[in-house]
Amino acid sequence: MILFTFKDNLTSSIQSIYSSRLTITSSKYSQEQCDKTDFYYEAIQVNVPISHNYTLASIGSLDILGFLYENYVNPYRPYERLHNKLRGGCDLAQFKINSYFKSDTTYVLVVTSYRQKITGRFSIVVSGPYNVSLNRISEYSSTFIIYV
């Protein structure tokens, strides 16, 4: 995991960047609408210091989905407590969302492969007026529910 922040002089926003990779030893996620369970995932805790609009976006060559939850994730019931499903347009392999985040709420971003059993590197960029912390919750979860 790599996490750093910088101030973009063109947009006057602070950006946090988180980099990692999905591997064959990553935990598996169920995409309920497809009734399939072999999607590698990583859960990332997102904490904003001050309530405001922030943008979350993925970059890289891995075709991924992002699921944003409030407070906890149940990987076997992926639509429980779902705040937002993040996906680009029909032809895009990355996601981007601009949303209002509350400082008194813990968010969990689940990054998962778009297709089953796909591995590779990914990065998440968060832009906004304040530094956002991004921390891996669990690389190898053996529990059914991840609580934050």
Whether residue 48 is predicted with pLDDT greater than 50 in this model: the reply is yes
H-run or E-run covering 110 = strand 107-113
Q: What radius of gyration, in Å, describes the C-alpha atoms of the chain?
A: 14
pLDDT at 28: 81
pTM over 0.85: no
Burial of residue 82 (number of CB atoms within 10 Å: 0-12, 13-18, 19+) = middle
**What amino acid is encoded at 63 in this protein?**
D
What fold characterizes domain 2-147?
A: Jelly Rolls (2.60.120)
Which of 2-6, 43-47, 133-137 has the least mean pLDDT?
Answer: 2-6
Highest mean pLDDT, choosing among 14-18, 96-100, 117-121 = 117-121
Chain mean pLDDT for the chain: 76
pLDDT at 70: 84
pLDDT at 138: 65
Handedness of CA 125, 131, 132, 134 (dihedral sign): positive
Cα(126)–Cα(133) distance, integer angstroms: 9
Cα(25)–Cα(5) distance, integer angstroms: 29
Burial of residue 24 (number of CB atoms within 10 Å: 0-12, 13-18, 19+) = exposed
Choice between 74 and 86, residue whose per-residue pLDDT is larger: 74
